Every structure is written in structure tokens, then in C-alpha cells.
Amino acid sequence: MFELDLSNNQFASKFPEVIFKLPLLKFLDLRFNGFEGTVPKELFDKDLDVVFINHN
């Protein structure tokens, strides 16, 4: 999977760690949800071109 866009939903939980099991991911959009807690440092180890995580 190249792109994961879960923006503008009403998801509410911890950061979705399933993202770390997507080796080809380049575009991640989690904006405008209710994700809580800290952003895992592993996110910044991934080779992502785009990361949107604001408004959580």
C-alpha cells in the first residue's frame, strides 16, 4: 500500500501502529480524528514523503 488516508473520520484511539507494518507506505494522512498520546518515534524512521497528523 502506497497511500493511507484516514483523515476526517471520528477515529479515537492510540496512534495506529499498523502503519509500521506497511513497508511501501509513502503518504500518510491521519488529520482530523481523535488519536491520542504521543507520536511513536518509529514514524520518523519510515521513508515517508508526506505525513499529516495534525488536529488529533
- Model confidence pLDDT, tens digit, residues 3-54: 999 999 999 999 999 999 999 999 999 999 999 999 999 999 999 999 999 9
* Distance separating alpha carbons of residues 49 and 11, to the nearest angstrom: 23
Provide the pLDDT for residue 44.
Answer: 94
User: Which pLDDT belongs to residue 49?
Assistant: 98
Instruction: Decide: pTM greater than 0.75.
Output: yes
Q: What is the pLDDT of residue 56?
A: 95
Supply the pLDDT for residue 4.
Answer: 97
Domain residues for the domain of 12 are: 3-52
CA distances from 36 to 18, 20, 49 (A): 15, 17, 23
Q: How many domains does the chain have?
A: 1
51 φ/ψ angles, rounded to the nearest 5 degrees: -135, 120
